[in-house]
Structure 1
Amino acid sequence: MSRSKLLEAFKFTLYVAIPIGVTYVYMQPQIVNAVVKELDYINYPAQQLTREEIMEKMKKGSDERKSRQ
């Protein structure tokens, strides 16, 4: 093989191997969790109502609908 073909084969190998290697390393569950925590990707706002308050409102609405019928 000529020198230019070896260089092209080497570059092709790098172009294929680097994304595969990076994907393998960074898709480990521990690393994904660390990145998500560090960069604060998932940040839910505080709820205005508790679960009990929501259930109470649903019960009131259900009772009102039943009383109208």
Structure 2
Amino acid sequence: MAKRFVGTGTSKPWWYLYMEAWKFAMYVSIPVGSVYALTQTNMVNRIVMWTQYVVYPREGPRPPSADDMLRLLADERKRREENDQGGPSV
């Protein structure tokens, strides 16, 4: 039985045409399917929740603000000055 080739003057077998059609269909359908899936809001939410890899701990107490820190430093200075003045000198 003679081999069937695609077209004349080629050395490619008949199934080569089907393989090329399949590859072309994949090259076109995968990007189109991805765009369709990623434009659906519920699908985007599902993908984000599925690939969530950063889980932050609960928020702890906030550090003091700049005004609070200045007030604490002033109180500490005042306390030190009072202790230095009232104590015996060596």
Q: Which has the larger radius of gyration?
A: 2
In terms of fraction of residues, the more helix-rich structure is: 1
TM-score (norm 1): 0.50
TM-score (norm 2): 0.42
